[in-house]
Amino acid sequence: MAHLAPENETKFDFQKYIKRSLEDDFKVVVGISPIIWFIAVLFLLAYTHGWYSYLWLPFIPLILWISSIR
């Protein structure tokens, strides 16, 4: 282990490092912003007959996502 100092060589836990880095990456890749969570809950609660929410409500996260890219 050329990149570690001799005193740290025995303390380094590779499995713990890999697990932590994969969890951090997973949070970034799969993480959902609070706004998208709010929209998802709103969609589940607002499914009312006659509102046609199944048609227009799913486009709100798409619009928010597109606007956040720019």
pTM: 0.38
Mean pLDDT score of the chain, rounded to an integer?
78
Task: Tell me how long the chain is.
Answer: 70
The per-residue pLDDT for range 14-35, each reduced to its tens digit, is 899 999 998 888 877 777 778 8
The token pair that represents 6 in the structure block: 């001799």
What per-residue confidence (pLDDT) applies to 65?
83
Residue 9 has φ and ψ, to the nearest 5°, of -60, -40
Q: Is residue 11's pLDDT more than 80? A: no
- Locate the domains of the chain by residue range: 35-70
What per-residue confidence (pLDDT) applies to 18?
92
Q: Which residue has the tokens 């006659």?
A: 50
